[in-house]
Amino acid sequence: MSIPKLEFPPFHLPDEAEALRGEVRAFLKETLPGIQTEDRFASWNTPSPEFSRALGAKGWLGITWPKQYGGSERTFLDRYVVTEELLGNSAPAGSHWVADRQSGPLLLKFGSEQQRQAILPRITRGECYFSIGMSEPDSGSDLASVRTRAEPVPGGFRVNGTKVWTSGAHRNHYCITLVRTSGQHGDRHKGLSQLLVDLKTPGVTIRPIINLAGRHDWNEVTFSDAFIPEDCLIGNEGDGWLQVTSELAFERSGPERFMQNVYVLRELIRVLGRQPAKRANAIVGRLIARLWTLRQMSTAVAGMMQGGKSPAIEASLVKDLGTIYEQDLPEIARTLAESDATTEDDLADFLDIAQYATMMAPSYTIQGGTTQVLRGIVARGLGLR
Amino acid sequence: MDRETRDMLLETAGRFFSERSGKDVVNGVEKGVWPADLWKEIEEMGLPLIAVPEAQEGVGGTLADLLALLRVAGEHAVPVPLAETTLANLLVAASGGKPASGPSTLALVGSDLSLQGNRLSGKVMRVPFASVADRFVSVVGVGGKSTLVVVARDEASVEETPSHAGEPYGTVVFDNTPVEFSAASAVSADRALELAALMRTMQMAGAADKVLATAVEYCKQRVQFGRPISNFQAIQHMLAELASCVAATIASAESASRDADEGGLEEGGSFSIAAAKTQCSDFAHRIAALSHQSMGAMGFTHEHILHHYTRRLWVWRRDFGSEAFWGEKIGQAFAKAGRDAMWPALTESRYAA
């Protein structure tokens, strides 16, 4: 007996991608100072339609998609570089994030020609934003248990049910919604389908769910006899589970899984001054080494994916390690700043930053697949289940 | 060497280590038995000369070949100074010397070494295999110049201070000791330390790999409450976390090796090596803790092989600079350069400046 060997073949991003990095940096340097956002340090969940449109104008949204749908036909690795530069420079990527990252690719893969032509060019212009309609009050990690029902009626579906944790539904245009189109609740993976739902549809009600940090990102989206036209079915009726799992696999190992709060590390370096104590340097050095390692792992997975492999376990490991790093970071940084910040003012300012980061930290190991779900995937890969 | 040749060599070496460097040999070294036959066969295979150019009667491999071999050696806890000798031979050859046969070791850490004419003075602690190596290789920096020196073991005094993995480490004192060979060094003293740290990261990657495989195999076979304990979710999640720590160890070591090889012997991958040694040393604790927890009392016995690997991880994390040493170096550079230099430096795997 032997277990599959974990491999992370070191991978260099190609020269074209590195050249693109320079362009993206120059663009961000010029554009970001003029963008106002609700967050002091923006990230992939901070919305800014203005910024998304500017990014779209550069051709960097839907960057890998065919030109006929407004894409730039560049590589997956070019996209990787754009993504990590947005995160590394705290750009407000929240408006377009889901559309560019998973909804667009889903439509490209499974959507009808009409859906692609109607939607994808708008996404690439930074004008069309998406929410994800998967979770329900009784379906979180156990997604196959969804109850929202789409009943076939002449010309389409009548939808009833409730989706929750629907980020950005109050400001986005569409929600790709996982529904049961046939069979019963107990049928699990069978009878599920995905619908392209216009969030302005009559019968669709959006109510805020405020998170513990007082932010309104989430919503509850209720369907009461909402009529969804039949041309809004994505892919084949009954293929919803297959499509959803393919959607979840999109870049589990991307830089958004370890760089969401990179501003904490940057600001920590600021408040410790130019000549920290030995011990403080060692602690910062360890944080930097962890971040560097995660980036090496993430680019290695990107390289394997570009080479046509599907390194599922390795990708899950990156998310597991990356989100735990993000969760550790505010706490390590806070305790270090308490003892080693150079001035009282710097400390007070940093504690504000760390407080916010601390409040957000629990979400990192929950969203997009909890740590425990990921570890289940890894355990299966190790042959333990 | 080309990919195919390297893979063949690694496979042969792996098989050889499995057969000839088993549990008894590793335990024997801890009791003070030098495995002379094992070393002789290692030399016959040419492994100590893997990165010595063919023109100097070596195998002609690269630094990357050497490091890949050390990962395999780490996976087998090979209890002889193969790592130290391969690097020492590489440094001697690169500085124009001819590597001698027999085991060598590196006297690098804590170097307040001074060279006067052809005589070396100073003390180096925790020198691996100090009492069994035939000679010590070091790099001494004097006034901006670096000199590589080779000293015969019998010329120096060695105080034995076995490592916690039971390997014959020791404190070496040079007191106006004559050097057997000296030459302008191909690398600085700091660089020699980096390369030694890099060599340990690859051994740690191999050992970490073995720890994961050992724990997974054990949990699949160990039956409690009527079923293999690998069926329990608590065990599955622990092993998944172990896998993540092992993955970080492997990925950081392999990335640093690639960067060092591509960037050249003199300075390639300087930051990556520091980051990798920090990372590998940092996670050694979790790797040991999780693997031992999963294997219960069985893994805590001397009888089982798990400690051959976990004890080495605990020793290797300190060798040639711990996470505190390399982390401080990184932290200092990034503090000096300021926050805005961090991200560009990270994307280029270099120290912030």
> How many Å apart are CA A61 and CA A373, to the nearest integer?
30
| A236-249 mean pLDDT | 86
Band of the pLDDT at A1, cuts 50, 70, 90? very low
Phi and psi at residue B305, to the nearest 5°: -85, -10
Closest by Cβ to B251, choosing from A267, A297, A382: A297
Q: Taking CB atoms and an 8 Å limit, are A280 and B327 in contact across chains?
A: no
Token pair for B157: 């005094």
Give the residue with greater pLDDT, B167 vs A143. B167
Query: So what's the pLDDT on residue A187?
Result: 82
Note the Cα A265 to chain centre separation in Å.
Answer: 21
Query: In Å, how far is B307's CA from the nearest CA of chain A?
Result: 20
Q: Which residues of B touch A22 (CB under 8 A)?
A: none
Could you tell me where the beta strands, DSSP code E, fall in B45-203? 104-106, 114-116, 119-127, 135-142, 145-152, 157-160, 170-178, 181-184
Q: What is the mean pLDDT of residues A28-57?
A: 95
Report how far Cα B326 is from the mean position of its chain's Cα atoms: 15
Tokens of B122: 């100073």
Neighboring chain A residues of B323 at a CB cutoff of 8 Å: 282, 285-286, 289
Q: Do A273 and B335 touch (CB under 8 A)?
A: yes
Q: Give CA–CA dist A7/A112, Å, rounded.
A: 38
Mutation target for A interface from B201, B261, B343: give the one with most A CBs within 10 A. B343
A250 pLDDT exceeds 70?
no
Taking an 8 Å cut-off on Cβ atoms, the answer to whether B250 and A8 are in contact is: yes
Residues in CB range of A335: below 8 A, 6 or more apart: none
Residues 6 or more apart whose CB falls under 8 angstroms from that of A94 comprise A42, A43, A44, A45, A46, A47, A48, A168
Give the mean pLDDT of chain B. Answer: 97
**pLDDT per residue over B130-170, tens digit each?**
999 999 999 999 878 999 999 999 999 999 999 999 999 99
Q: Tell how strand B114-116 and strand B157-160 pair up.
A: unpaired
**Where does the pLDDT of residue A2 fall: very low under 50, low under 70, confident under 90, or very high at 90 and above?**
low
Q: Do A313 and B243 touch (CB under 8 A)?
A: yes
Q: What is the pLDDT of residues A184-200, one digit of tens each?
A: 877 888 999 999 999 99
So what's the pLDDT on residue A183?
85
List of chain B residues whose C-beta atoms are within 8 Å of the C-beta of residue A283: 327, 331
Contacts of A21 in chain B (CB under 8 A): 347
- Amino acid at position B133, single letter: A
Quote the minimal CA–CA distance from B351 to chain A in Å: 10
Residue A245 scores a pLDDT above 90? no
> How close B156 comes to chain A (CA, Å)?
34
CA distance B224 to chain A (A): 15
Helical packing angle, B233-263 and B63-75, nearest 10°: 160
Helix (H, G, I), strand (E, B) or coil at A123: helix
CA distance B291 to chain A (A): 14
d(CA B82, CA A137): 59
Query: Where on the phi/psi map is residue B129: left (φ > 0), alpha (ψ -120 to 50), or beta?
Result: left
Q: Compute φ and ψ for A334, nearest 5 degrees.
A: -60, -50
Where does the pLDDT of residue B32 fall: very low under 50, low under 70, confident under 90, or very high at 90 and above?
Answer: very high
How far B259 CA lies from chain A's nearest CA (Å)? 9
* CA A343 – CA A154 distance, rounded (Å): 69
B233 min Cα distance to partner chain A (Å): 8
Q: Which two tokens stand for residue B271?
A: 């930051």
Kindly determine whether residue A1 and residue B220, on different chains, have CB atoms separated by under 8 Å. yes
Q: Do B254 and A8 touch (CB under 8 A)?
A: yes
CB contact under 8 A, A292 and B349: yes
Chain B residues within an 8 Å CB radius of A321: 244-245, 247-248
Looking at chain B, the whole-number percentage of residues with pLDDT higher than 90 is 97
Please give, rounded to a whole number of angstroms, the shortest distance from the CA of B343 to a CA of chain A.
Answer: 6
User: Which residue of chain A is at minimal alpha-carbon distance from B281?
Assistant: A286
Q: Specify the pLDDT at position A382.
A: 94
Instruction: Decide if B247 and A8 are in contact by the 8 Å CB cutoff.
Output: yes
Q: Does residue B11 carry a pLDDT above 50?
A: yes
The predicted structure's pLDDT at residue B259: 98
Q: Which of A172, A163, A194 is nearest to A181 (CA)?
A: A194
Residue A251 pLDDT: 64
Residue/partner pairs of B22-27 with CB below 8 Å, 24 or more apart = B23/B305, B23/B308, B25/B79, B26/B77, B26/B79, B26/B305, B26/B308, B27/B302
A249 has pLDDT over 70: no
For residue B83, give how far its alpha carbon lies from the nearest alpha carbon of chain A (Å): 22
pLDDT in tens, B111-132: 589 999 999 999 999 999 999 9
Which of A62-71, A300-309, B184-193, B315-324 bottoms out in mean pLDDT, i.e. has the lowest? A300-309
User: Which residues does chain B have within 8 Å of residue A292's beta carbon, measured at their own beta carbons?
Assistant: 252, 272, 275, 279, 346, 349
Inter-chain contact B243–A378, Cβ cutoff 8 Å? yes
In this prediction, residues A216-224 reach a mean pLDDT of: 97
- The stretch A285-307 carries a mean pLDDT of 96
How many other CB atoms are found less than 10 A from the CB of residue A324?
17
Residue B143: what pLDDT? Answer: 78
Show the DSSP H helices in chain B as ranges: 3-20, 23-30, 36-44, 63-75, 82-94, 189-221, 233-263, 270-299, 306-316, 323-337, 342-347
pTM metric for this prediction: 0.97
Pair of tokens at residue A248:
């979840």
**Mean pLDDT value of segment A269-291:** 98
What is the H or E stretch that residue B338 is in? Answer: none
Q: Which of B98, B70, B81 is CA-nearest to residue B43?
A: B81
Is a pLDDT exceeding 60 seen at residue B337? yes
Taking CB atoms and an 8 Å cutoff, what residues of chain A touch B247?
Answer: 6, 8, 297, 314, 317, 321
Q: What percent of chain B has pLDDT over 70?
A: 99
To probe the interface with B, which of A18, A268, A288 has the most B CB atoms within 10 Å?
A288
B39 SS3 class: helix
Whole-number pLDDT of residue B144: 83
- Work out how many CB contacts closer than 8 A connect A with B: 186
Residue A356 to residue A339: CA distance in whole angstroms = 19
The reply to whether residue A283 touches residue B272, judged by beta carbons under 8 angstroms, is no
The residue in chain B having the minimum alpha-carbon distance to the alpha carbon of residue A297 is B251
Please name the residue of chain A whose CA is at the shortest distance from the CA of residue B334. Answer: A269
The answer to whether the Cβ–Cβ distance between B244 and A378 falls below 8 Å is yes
Answer whether B247 sits within 8 Å of A272, measured CB to CB.
no
The residues with which B105 forms a beta bridge, in sequence order, are: B136
Of B216, B248, B259, the CB nearest to A384: B216
Local confidence band at A246 (pLDDT 50, 70, 90 cut-offs): confident
Q: Which chain B residues touch A284 with a CB distance below 8 Å?
A: 327, 330-331, 334-335
The separation between the first and the last C-alpha atoms of chain A, rounded to the nearest angstrom, is 15
Please give the average per-residue pLDDT across B333-341, as a whole number: 97
Per-residue pLDDT tens digits for B233-278: 999 999 999 999 999 999 999 999 999 999 999 999 999 999 999 9
Question: Cα–Cα distance between A321 and A63 in angstroms, integer?
Answer: 28
Residue A253's pLDDT band, with cuts at 50, 70 and 90, is confident
